[in-house]
Structure 1
Amino acid sequence: MNLKQLEAFQAIMATGSTIGAATRMDLSQSAVSRLLTQLEEHLGFSLFLRRKGRLMATPEAQELLGQVSALVDNLQRVQRLADELRVGRSQRSLLRVAVPTSMTHHLLPSIVAEFLREREDVVVEILTGSYDTLERAVLDRSADFAFVRLPAELPDFEVQPVLETEGVCVMPEGHPLAELSEVTLDHLREVPLVLLGRQRNLRSELDQRFREARVTPQVRVEVHSVSAACAFVAEGMGVSIINGLLARDTGGLPLLIRPLRPMLPYRFGLIFRKDQPRSRLVEAFANHMSERLRAISNDR
């Protein structure tokens, strides 16, 4: 006994003929008749009496109909759920993604919206914070994965590299440096700066670059997120150095962007717990997010 046989029985009971059942199931009449014969052979008794070319349901068929209809409905729901799970969709799907706050203005919303367009039953939870916070969210299973700057510092992660970008100089509109096609560290001599906090790895690398260039950075404001740096720059507090990817998501602030030379590289990737199996949904969104971010980063 299989689902198709039960569906054929249900369709014949509903339409009163194999022709009607065939139309309903989008099968040939002979295929429906064959399914009915197979079901009757499995059950060991007839479900219909054949009189003058017509089918008449037996009392046994009438008694079976309610149970068969309920069973077919349940099996169809199981099949739909299996189909959804196979392509990364599920009525019970919760996707938890941890990202830097600065990605949530435009970058991530557009990526999530595109992914959810045909996944109406998926719920997405976005966690934000510093890279340390994002790593902890993955470790304590608050997030399925996180988008972070590489290398991640803890050994418990499986890392999926996504892209490499470079540092840029962000300045308010009308700033004197806006006349330059690219900015060097020497151009930043005596220029007020808005930089990320000294405890961050990026800041250590940047300070080393300033020392090598024999430039003493004139730090006026220290912040702990790219979005905060951009907000202070927009208010005229100085210029900032941030990564080129997040510079694309400045929330519509009146800012200008210039390449920084020599290049300051940034590598980004997704991190997962090594001991946490990934669902098809997580795999599907991780791949979608990676592809879209690479496309955005390459669209210069």
Structure 2
Amino acid sequence: MDLRQLRVFREVMRTGSISQAARNLDRTQPAVSHMIARLEEELGVTLFERRRGRLYAVPEAQYLLRESEELLGRATAVRQTMQRMKALEAGELSVISMPGPAAVLLPALIGELVGPHPEIKATLLTRSSDAIVQLAGTQQFDLAIADHDPARRINADLLHTETHVFDSICAVPGDDPLARAEAVTPGDLSGLPMAALYPEHLSHRLARRAFEAAGADFSVRFFGQFFLPLLSYVAHGLARVIVDPLTAESWIRSTNRPGAVVFRRFRPEIAFGVDVMRPAYRPESLLAHSFLAHLRGLFAELGGRQEPPAG
């Protein structure tokens, strides 16, 4: 018994006629008769009594009609849903990200992609980068986004990883003389109050290394776990901070104090990397594929460059 047989059976029940069902289905009358006969043979039940050239449905046929309506309705719904998923109008997207992009950029990107389609559901969770790598390995997420640390081990058997690299920039108060500089150097910042992530974080280590190489004083007054909150210290004129372009763009999009923080190039260049991970054993949906393409586009707009795969 297959769906074609059930569709033919339903049409015969609706019309009460083999010939009319054949016309409605654009089939020949012998083809419809053959499919009904095959269905009766497979079920081992006579569905119609034939008297004086007319069909009379037996009680068992009424039961089969009710079940057929439900099955065919479900099949139609599944087909329509799959078509909407192909057109990116339905489905589910699950993303886990470090806090920086998750605060502003990723919700905006997800909203642009799925907003016009109410049948799409999206989940965005925020964790630290180390926790993200562990959670991504469970294969429960379509996409995971973490800051890049060469010392962090990512299991290549579980995760497909691509790394996008950005040049860090310097955030200074809007009324700071450095706000008018074309680029900011460690010498410019020597001895000035700085804000930075905790000392163990790669960005902190790289910034301190750049200052030491220039013989400058890396004087950190404010420490934090994430970049975006540190910009509040800058906006109040209390510190300067070396951040990534994703954080800068998040601040620009979300602040109600334009001009309170100014972003300038930092020299020498300090690379900030972002790892985008996809589960190796979770097939990529069309929706996840489209989101990844939009994410790559955003990274490119912000000056990111994708590193070639290792090996």
Deviates more, 1:61-70 or 1:27-36: 27-36
| Alignment partners' CA distance in 2, 1:191 and 1:34 | 91
Equivalent position of 1:68 in the other structure? 68
Equivalent position of 2:122 in the other structure? 124
How many residues get paired?
A: 288
Answer whether contact 1:138 1:273 (CA < 8 A) is retained: yes
Equivalent position of 1:191 in the other structure? 192
- Tell me which amino acid in the other structure corresponds to 2:167: E
Give unpaired runs (5+ residues) of structure 1.
none
Answer whether contact 1:4 1:35 (CA < 8 A) is retained: no
Deviates more, 1:130-139 or 1:170-179: 130-139
Look up the SS of the partner of 2:275 in the other structure.
Answer: strand
Deviates more, 1:203-212 or 1:77-86: 77-86
Alignment of 1:1-300 (within 5 A): 1-14=1-14, 29-31=25-27, 33=29, 36-42=32-38, 43-44=40-41, 47=48, 56-59=55-58, 61-62=61-62, 64-77=64-77, 79=79, 95-117=93-115, 120-139=118-137, 145-151=143-149, 153-157=152-156, 158-250=159-251, 251-252=254-255, 254=258, 255-272=261-278, 277-281=281-285, 284-285=287-288, 287-299=289-301
| Alignment partners' CA distance in 2, 1:86 and 1:201 | 41
Structure 1 residues 48 and 201, CA gap change in structure 2 (3 angstroms)? farther
| Alignment partners' CA distance in 2, 1:80 and 1:33 | 29
- Tell me which amino acid in the other structure corresponds to 1:262: P
- Tell me which amino acid in the other structure corresponds to 1:67: E
Identity %: 20
| Alignment partners' CA distance in 2, 1:122 and 1:162 | 28
Deviates more, 1:261-270 or 1:37-46: 37-46
Show CA shifts across 1:173-201 (max 9, x none).
22211111222222222332111111101
Deviation of 1:209 (Å): 0.9
Structure 1 residues 236 and 223, CA gap change in structure 2 (3 angstroms)? same
| Alignment partners' CA distance in 2, 1:235 and 1:182 | 21
Look up the SS of the partner of 2:263 in the other structure.
Answer: strand
| Alignment partners' CA distance in 1, 2:239 and 2:232 | 10
- Tell me which amino acid in the other structure corresponds to 1:261: R
Deviation of 1:278 (Å): 0.9
Answer whether contact 1:85 1:280 (CA < 8 A) is retained: no
| Alignment partners' CA distance in 1, 2:190 and 2:173 | 17
| Alignment partners' CA distance in 1, 2:177 and 2:29 | 83
Structure 1 residues 288 and 83, CA gap change in structure 2 (3 angstroms)? closer
Deviation of 1:284 (Å): 3.8
| Alignment partners' CA distance in 2, 1:85 and 1:104 | 25
Answer whether contact 1:130 1:225 (CA < 8 A) is retained: no
Deviates more, 1:100-109 or 1:145-154: 145-154
| Alignment partners' CA distance in 1, 2:47 and 2:275 | 63
Answer whether contact 2:9 2:36 (CA < 8 A) is retained: no
- Tell me which amino acid in the other structure corresponds to 1:70: E
Deviates more, 1:247-256 or 1:144-153: 144-153
| Alignment partners' CA distance in 1, 2:186 and 2:203 | 15
